[in-house]
Amino acid sequence: MEMPTPDAKTLARRSEIIHRLGRIVSCDGVIEAADELVAFECDGLMAYTQLPMVVVLPQTTEQVSEVLKACHEMDVKIVPRGAGTGLSGGALPLADGVTLGLGKLNQITDIDYENRAVVMQPGVTNRAISDAVQDEGFYYAPDPSSKIACTIGGNIAENAGGMHCLKYGLTTNNVLGVELVLMTGEIIRLGGKHMDAAGLDLLGAVTGSEGLLGIITEVTVRILKQPDTVKALLIGFDSVANGSDCVANIIGSGIIPSAMEMMDKMAIHSMQGFVDSGYPLDVEALLVMELDGPEIEVQCLTERVAKIAKEAQSTFFKISKDDAEREQFWKGRMSAFPSMGNISPDYLTMDGTIPRHRLAEVLDRIQGLSDQYGLRVANVFHAGDGNLHPLILYDANIEGELDKAESLGHDVLRLCVEVGGVLSGEHGIGVEKRDLMGEMFTEDDLKQQQRLKCAFDGSGLLNPGKVYPTLHRCAELGQMHVKDGKLAFPDIPRF
């Protein structure tokens, strides 16, 4: 990919930035050649691409601090990037900005079994946390489908979930503390191994902030003891409505499975064709569920679920006989997204959340939108908490199909908001949903959110162009500033 020819002033400025960054991280930590920058041109939302001005790869918190300090002094924008697995364009580069890659900060620095906590750098992969503690009988609960590749820093940026977030919570429920570098280069700490700190929940504000508030350079997470017994269930239905009723009735009965996923017929066939997971092909909807805990509790809950499923007119019911078969049941669901490559040249992965009791209605209306746009939609979702992931199938080689797919996706998200849901369950807003924020928030809501950004990043240089359709200058909103992990005011000022 060729970069457009910039004018002399822009070239001089870029040269100055590259020189200054090179003094901080050494030359091998700065990427400037166009053919090498291509590797950073997008994240998992590959519909949009943009070469960054330059990429910098620091290896320490101090280097991150110096990079941000230099960019702040030179008024240069920063886009943080983890593994690039995000699906909303949150790591999309800026042509006039520095992409700050955190992949070299990839060490686990402390495992504290007594306090059930692990401290690590942001480039550690999600799966690596559980791998590091499994021999002692522990694991890290949040498990996005991309857990082999996605990093904990990115998980915090998007507040990632996964299959087991129904019982054990999203990233925000499992992060205890972070070390954060502000745009000025100041290093602060929020939270830690101790119980929640008094005062403002700044850690909660940072989790899910999509790189708009600061750069995370250290993370402390909670680990859990592995359960005594784990069983997986496959439950098939002859209609999506019956499957949805079963989900609602299970939760309504007080049973909280560790995971409860649902997929429609198109998704079932795609996954089973990709990897043999034991999925029945003669059902319209399939639940993949997991129950864990003491053996007697799991046995009791399994019997209760079997009764509820029968009352919901299930046509298929199977319990894993051992851990190997349980893992086989999950292989299909874990390969949901890549399996779509077998049935479509391209697809968009959507992410919205709805009230559980509206599930059947929403899926029916999504089918109506699919017919209206003439594009197939395969549905895979975290049924227990209403987090939908419609997969819109299209062919980018056909003129206009990408635009149609995006329009269909936007209508699906508007539908989620209409029925009382939200624009994102775990993938974030990024650029994909930025212009839909007005569907969910008033102008006053958005201004209030941006006041929080101004408290951390008064210069507006961190990941600009993401999340907010219109970014107001901090001077227009009134500023407050974060210092040493606390606001400079005893109370949030009123505007």
Tokens 């502000």 locate to: 182
Distance CA(224)–CA(495), nearest Å, equals 42
Q: Are 352 and 423 in contact (CB under 8 A)?
A: yes
CATH number, domain 108-225, options 3.50.50.60, 3.30.465.10, 3.40.640.10, 3.40.50.720:
3.30.465.10
The type of residue at 226 is Q
Q: How long a stretch of residues is the chain?
A: 495
Is the fold of 229-337 the same as that of 344-436? yes
- Determine the 3-state secondary structure of 478 from DSSP: coil
Distance CA(74)–CA(185), nearest Å, equals 13
- pLDDT of 7 reads 81
For the domain bounded by 344-436, which CATH number is listed? 3.30.70.2740
For the domain bounded by 229-337, which CATH number is listed? 3.30.70.3450
Q: Give backbone dihedrals phi and psi of 309, rounded to 5 degrees, phi first.
A: -65, -40
Q: DSSP readout, 253-271? A: TT---SEEEEEEHHHHHHH
Q: Are 231 and 296 in contact (CB under 8 A)?
A: no
State the pTM of this model: 0.93
Distance CA(411)–CA(396), nearest Å, equals 19
Q: Per-residue pLDDT for the chain (495 aa), expressed as one digit of tens each?
A: 455 567 888 899 999 999 999 999 987 899 999 999 999 999 999 889 999 999 999 999 999 999 999 999 999 999 999 999 999 999 999 999 999 999 999 999 999 999 999 999 999 999 999 999 999 999 999 999 999 999 999 999 999 999 999 999 999 999 999 999 999 999 999 999 876 667 889 999 999 999 999 999 999 999 999 999 999 999 999 999 999 999 999 999 999 999 999 999 999 999 999 999 999 999 999 999 999 999 999 999 999 999 999 999 999 999 999 999 999 999 999 999 999 999 999 999 999 999 998 999 999 999 999 999 999 999 999 999 999 999 999 999 999 999 999 999 999 999 999 999 999 999 999 999 999 999 999 999 999 999 999 999 999 999 999 999 987 778 677 655 555 554 433 333 322
- pLDDT of 336 reads 94
Distance CA(471)–CA(54), nearest Å, equals 24
Distance CA(350)–CA(87), nearest Å, equals 8
Query: CB neighbours of 296 closer than 8 A, spacing ≥ 6?
Result: none
Distance CA(463)–CA(99), nearest Å, equals 9
Dihedral, 303, 305, 310, 311 alpha carbons, nearest 10? 120
CA dihedral over 165, 436, 180, 477, signed as positive or negative: negative
For the domain bounded by 8-101, which CATH number is listed? 3.30.43.10
Question: Quick one: how far is CA 43 from the chain centroid?
Answer: 12
Distance CA(239)–CA(265), nearest Å, equals 9
Domain ranges of the chain: 8-101, 108-225, 229-337, 344-436, 443-482
- pLDDT of 489 reads 35
